[in-house]
A and B are shown apart, each in its own frame.
Chain A
Amino acid sequence: MMSEPFISIQGLNKTFWGAKRSVVAPVEVLRDIDLSIPQGDIFGIMGFSGAGKSTLLRCLNRLEEPESGSVRIGEHDVCSLSHEQLLVFRRKIGMIFQQFNLLEARTVVGNVSFPLEVAGQRSAERRARVDEILELVGLTDRRDFYPGQLSGGQKQRVGIARALANEPIVLLSDEATSALDPQIALNVLDLLININQRLGLTIVLVTHQIEVIKYACRNVAVLENGRIVERGSVREVLTNPTSETMKVFMQVNSEMTSGGWKEGAGI
């Protein structure tokens, strides 16, 4: 049953103009993006690097200002929020990053309570919430460690804990598993899936790894030069790719899994 979409993007455009008097032509990073994402989905945004995936994701919490078009998340009309409203709205949108972006000056506890501080919670409330979240991501025994003492997978768990601290309505993931070893990436994806199922949290996940889409997502949109060239359920798109991007991804994926030069691949 298709209900009202939870996240709805309409006619979104974004151009990078470059520096003033720059000789470089403006780049149309996003062109006429229309996208609907149902509540509770794990939605993948796929594409080569430079296709505009991260920019699209960052338009959802206005880390990137859209040029035109509209973005709605739940009852929020994201593009029309004032600066003050935007700051409050961002508390409800968690985000995790490829480079984790933790604060090295703070311990695990300090990092996870940062968003609660920003939201103005008292320290007693913060402590209880931090304990709860660390339990959820399985880092209770690392609470007083500094990020410098943690492995990549643990750092990303802290990133996830930080993103979840203010009980967001959406989690944005910008290549969150791309810098991790495969086994660790898998663990982190399992955690995201688990959170999605337990909390019913909508997750929008940007990646250039087809395995991630296959493993974690229900629906996917494929970006090519700033346009959506293909969309649908992961099953549909993977069994019957129509875009150039997806065909290349599928082909590379199958060649890599079928053995390369050992099969005598024309060398």
Chain B
Amino acid sequence: MSELTEVIRRTFSLETWEVILPAIGDTLYMTSLSTLLMAVLGLILGTALFVTRPDGLRPVRVFYALFGAVINALRSLPSMVIIILTLPLAKLIIGRSIGPGAVIIALALTCIPMFARMVEGSFLEVPRGKLEAAKSIGARNWELVLKVALPEALPGLIRNFTIAVIAVISVTALAGFFGGGGLGDVAVRFGYNRFLTHMMVAAVLALIVIVELVQLGGDAWAKHIVRKRHL
């Protein structure tokens, strides 16, 4: 009993949060940069998949098949393996293989394929009739994507994006293992290696709050759009 109260007390103590707060900073830094990378590349690649599908606006079978295979291959690798594989790459690009900056490429790489598939899926949810109607007035392919598929798919796209961001956060925690820093790093170094339960609890709490906020934000954003459109 007293052990439990002790853990609780230390979990919320100043000295604990002197370690946790900078770790939150690192986690948010890694998450936001990886998310940015994922959003941009995921949208571009997802759009490319949607357009080049066999039943797409401009089918390119070879590209779609090849690309799909690469994406599936990346998705089938555990995030941990991808991180290990890309650390040398990070050293090449950024100049070092430890620290928050180094794992961003790994994080983006694990989540981009997933988000690209999500973008493709969201676009496919747009009723074909809407694209046909736009075709019937002479819309070009880029207009079909940017002015029809993208805005019509937006609420679903945002929900998927939220899921993808949360996936980034969870991989961030894993990246802590490999010198990425952040909350995962704290949980492993203090909580696991040094049996400091309160550190583990505090790091977990912080992660839960971050994920919860992202989810709430994403839901609110999607809901706002749905409300505005009276769907």
Interface positions of A (Cβ within 8 A of B): 61, 63, 86-91, 93-95, 97, 99, 101-106, 114-115, 117-119, 146-149, 159, 162-163, 165-166, 172
Which B residues lie within 8 Å of A166 (CB)? 137
Q: Give A99 Cβ to nearest chain B Cβ, in Å.
A: 5
Is B143 an interface position by the 8 A CB rule? Answer: yes
Q: Which of B37-45, B70-78, B125-133, B198-206 is the contact stretch?
A: B125-133
When distances are taken between beta carbons in the complex, the residues of chain B under 8 Å from A86 are 138
B138, B152, B228: the one contacting A115 at CB < 8 Å is: B138
Kindly provide the distance from the CB of A50 to the nearest chain B CB, expressed in whole angstroms: 18
Specify which of A91, A99, A105 is in contact with B127 (CB 8 Å cutoff).
A99
Q: Which residues from chain A contact B231 at a C-beta distance below 8 Å? A: 104, 148
Docked-complex contact A118 and B137, CB < 8 angstroms? yes
Closest CB pairs A-B (n = 9): A148-B230, A105-B151, A101-B133, A90-B138, A115-B137, A95-B136, A101-B129, A91-B138, A87-B138
From known contacts A103-B152, A105-B151, infer whether A148 and B229 are also in contact, taking CB-CB under 8 Å.
Answer: yes
User: B134 an interface residue at 8 Å Cβ cutoff?
Assistant: yes
* Cβ–Cβ contact B133 & A104, under 8 A: no
Which residues of chain A have C-beta atoms less than 8 A from B229's C-beta?
Answer: 104-105, 146-148
| Interface residues contributed by chain B, number (CB under 8 Å) | 22
- Do the beta carbons of A103 and B136 come within 8 Å of each other? no
Are B133 and A97 in contact, with the CB atoms below 8 A?
Answer: yes
* Cβ-defined contact, B147 with A88, below 8 A: no
Q: Are A101 and B132 in contact (CB under 8 A)?
A: yes
Chain B CB within 10 Å — which of A87, A91, A119, A166 has the most?
A87
Chain A CB within 8 A of B154 CB:
yes
Cβ–Cβ < 8 Å partners of A114 in chain B:
134, 137, 139, 147
Say yes or no for B224: interface residue by CB 8 A criterion: no
Contact B230 A90 (CB under 8 A): no
Cα–Cα, bound, A90→B137 (Å): 5
Are A90 and B152 within 8 A (Cβ)?
A: no
Contact A119–B138 (Cβ < 8 Å): yes
Residues of chain B in range 118-171 having any CB-CB distance to chain A below 8 Å: 127, 129-130, 132-140, 143, 147-148, 151-152, 154
Contact check, B230 vs A146: say whether CB atoms are below 8 A apart: yes
A159 CB, nearest partner CB in chain B, Å: 8
Decide: A88 and B138 in contact? CB cutoff 8 A.
yes
